[in-house]
């Protein structure tokens, strides 16, 4: 198991980028009341054939030449299953991949969300050329942001520019804080 869900999100988005994605959609739906937390990361990357789709769920398989194991997806799958949830990967070569995990937040073993705001800011400001489309829905409302829209608003400044980072940090906090509550 990992320390928090934000770690899983960061890893999944990095996998999408490694697969050549130009658009990565990260959606989180929180049913509230300790019930389901539905996470989906979908991309327009290379995709996988059926054999590879099944193998990426094995911790002793990786497509990265510099690693001997690939723990990200197997750990997310294990986390979802331990928490009484579900896990699925859909992928087609040339069409991209979608990874979805449903976790029961009220389950004793369900990790916290962690620093979702910081994770989102880090991904948006370091993945130049990638359109990260993030949305969070809960009974309290919805927040969404797109790095492509943020770049447009930045007027030519990179998202890594300190002034843009400061703005994004505040924007993300103001959008997510009321939805996440005091302890995520």
Contact by Cβ (8 Å): 64, 70: yes
Relative orientation angle of helices 5-18 and 72-82, to the nearest 10 degrees: 140
CA gap 109, 104 in Å, rounded: 9
Residues forming beta bridges with residue 106, ordered by sequence position? none
Token pair of 150 as six digits: 């943020």
Kindly list the structural domains of the chain, giving each domain's residue range(s) and its CATH number in brackets, ordered by start. 5-180 (3.30.565.10)
Angle between helices 116-126 and 5-18 (to 10 degrees): 20
pTM of the predicted structure, to 2 decimals: 0.89
Beta-bridged to residue 175, according to DSSP, are none
Per-residue pLDDT of the chain (184 residues; tens, 9 = 90+): 568 999 999 989 998 999 999 999 999 999 877 678 999 999 999 999 998 888 887 766 565 554 443 467 888 998 999 998 999 999 999 999 999 999 998 888 889 999 999 999 999 999 989 999 999 999 999 999 999 999 999 998 999 999 999 999 999 999 999 998 765 4
């Amino acid at each position: 198991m990992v320390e928090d869900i934000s770690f899983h999100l960061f890893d999944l988005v990095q996998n999408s980028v490694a697969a050549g994605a130009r658009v990565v959609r990260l959606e989180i739906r929180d049913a509230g009341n300790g019930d389901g937390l539905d996470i989906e990361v979908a991309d327009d990357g290379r995709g996988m054939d059926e054999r590879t789709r099944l193998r990426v769920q094995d911790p002793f398989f990786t497509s990265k030449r510099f690693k001997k194991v690939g723990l990200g997806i197997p750990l997310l799958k294990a986390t979802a299953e331990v928490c009484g949830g579900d896990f699925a990967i859909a992928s087609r070569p040339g069409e991209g991949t979608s990874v979805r995990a449903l976790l029961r937040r009220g389950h004793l073993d369900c990790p916290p969300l962690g620093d979702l705001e910081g994770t989102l800011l880090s991904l948006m400001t370091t993945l130049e050329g990638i359109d990260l489309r993030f949305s969070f829905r809960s009974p309290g409302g919805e927040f969404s942001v797109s790095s492509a829209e943020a770049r447009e608003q930045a007027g030519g400044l990179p998202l890594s520019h300190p002034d843009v980072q400061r703005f994004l940090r505040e924007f993300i906090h103001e959008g997510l804080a009321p939805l996440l509550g005091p302890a995520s």
